[in-house]
Amino acid sequence: MASHNQSYRADEDKGQAEEKAGQMKDSTAGHLSAAKEKAEAGKKKTSGVMQRTTEQVMSMAQGAADKVKQTFGLMAEEDDDDEIYGTGAGATTATRRN
Q: pLDDT for 25-48, tens place per residue?
A: 888 988 999 999 999 888 888 888
Q: Where are the alpha helices (DSSP H) in 1-98?
A: 2-71, 77-85
49-65 burial, b for 16+ CB within 10 Å, e for fewer? eeeeeeeeeeeeeeeee
Residue 33 lies inside a defined structural domain of this protein? yes
Q: pLDDT for 52-85, tens place per residue?
A: 999 999 999 999 999 999 998 887 765 545 555 4
Tell me how many domains the chain contains.
1
At residue 86 the predicted structure's pLDDT band, cuts being 50, 70 and 90, is: low
Contact call for residues 85 and 93 (beta carbons, < 8 A): no
Residue 70 lies inside a defined structural domain of this protein? yes
Structural domain boundaries enclosing 20: 2-85
CA distances from 9 to 4, 6, 20 (A): 9, 5, 16
Q: Given a cut of 90, is residue 96 above it in pLDDT?
A: no
Residue 96 lies inside a defined structural domain of this protein? no
Residue 98 lies inside a defined structural domain of this protein? no
